[in-house]
A = this chain, B = another copy of it.
Amino acid sequence: MRSEFQTEPVPLLSEPAKAPGRRERRRRETREKIYRAAMRLFSERGFFETTTEQITEAADVGQGTFFNYFPSKQHVLSVLSEIQLTKIRAAREQALRGERSLHDVLHALVHDIAQEPGQSQALTRALFSAIFSNEAVRSTAAELLAQGREVLAVVIAAGQERGEIRPDGKAADLALAFQRAVAGTLFLWAMQSKIGLKTWLEKAFRDFWAGAATTKGRIR
């Protein structure tokens, strides 16, 4: 499912500098297959109701293979963390290269970041309930948020450097505001909304950007 707002394909996992060999490629494919099967099942049944056996069956791999990749079910969620961090880092590279306006970089990122959890309300609910009831999942997610915020602060600082983002706000505070906008939107949407996630993300980004942009940043 590609977002209409996404402009560049984002690699699923961080790519090393040189192209991977066949063995490494195969490894990644299997890891991704397990991850995709797990997310589908979490969405259908919930995180706690899904067993590793169901995941291996759905992914069509052996139980032994599963445990070669992930020590436990909750570790599958670390793939999601990698995906999200890869997207935020891609935004940082774009911001530092300076080919796109900061508005466009952050606008695309809002939708990119929400894409994985936002595949369905059921999936977002499953992920949130895992985060808030399992200490290991929560601490993985907390680590992702902290790292993500640091990278976001670099993106914001690049925007301040280029005069598109208000210089009077701290980059760290604006990075927090960005995360708050996305997290708050996913939270409200997963809880109740009959309205499409994209519409609510658009409102959230519009509010964020209205508060963050300089006059120059607003003109596009």
- Residues on A close to B: CB < 8 A? 46, 48, 125-126, 128-129, 131-133, 138, 141-142, 145-146, 173, 176-177, 179-185, 187-188, 190-192, 200, 203-204, 207, 210-211
Contact = CB atoms under 8 A, between A and B. Distances in A.
Given A133-B133, A145-B191, A210-B211, 16 more contacts: A46-B133, A125-B132, A126-B132, A129-B133, A132-B132, A138-B192, A141-B191, A142-B192, A176-B188, A176-B200, A177-B204, A180-B204, A183-B184, A183-B187, A184-B185, A211-B211
B129 A188 contact: no
A185 B191 contact: no
A117 to B, nearest CB: 12
Contact of A131 (B145, B146, B173, B191): B191
Q: Which 10 A-B pairs have the closest CB atoms?
A: A184-B184, A142-B192, A180-B184, A129-B133, A129-B132, A128-B132, A125-B132, A183-B184, A183-B187, A211-B211
B192 A145 contact: yes
Quick one: copies of this chain in the complex?
A: 2
A183 B188 contact: yes
Contacts of A207: 177, 180, 211
Given A173-B203, A211-B207, A191 B142 contact: yes
Contacts of A128: 128-129, 132
A197 to B, nearest CB: 13
Contacts of A204: 177, 180
Contacts of A200: 176
Nearest to A48: B133
Contacts of A191: 131-132, 138, 141-142, 145
Contacts of A183: 183-184, 187-188
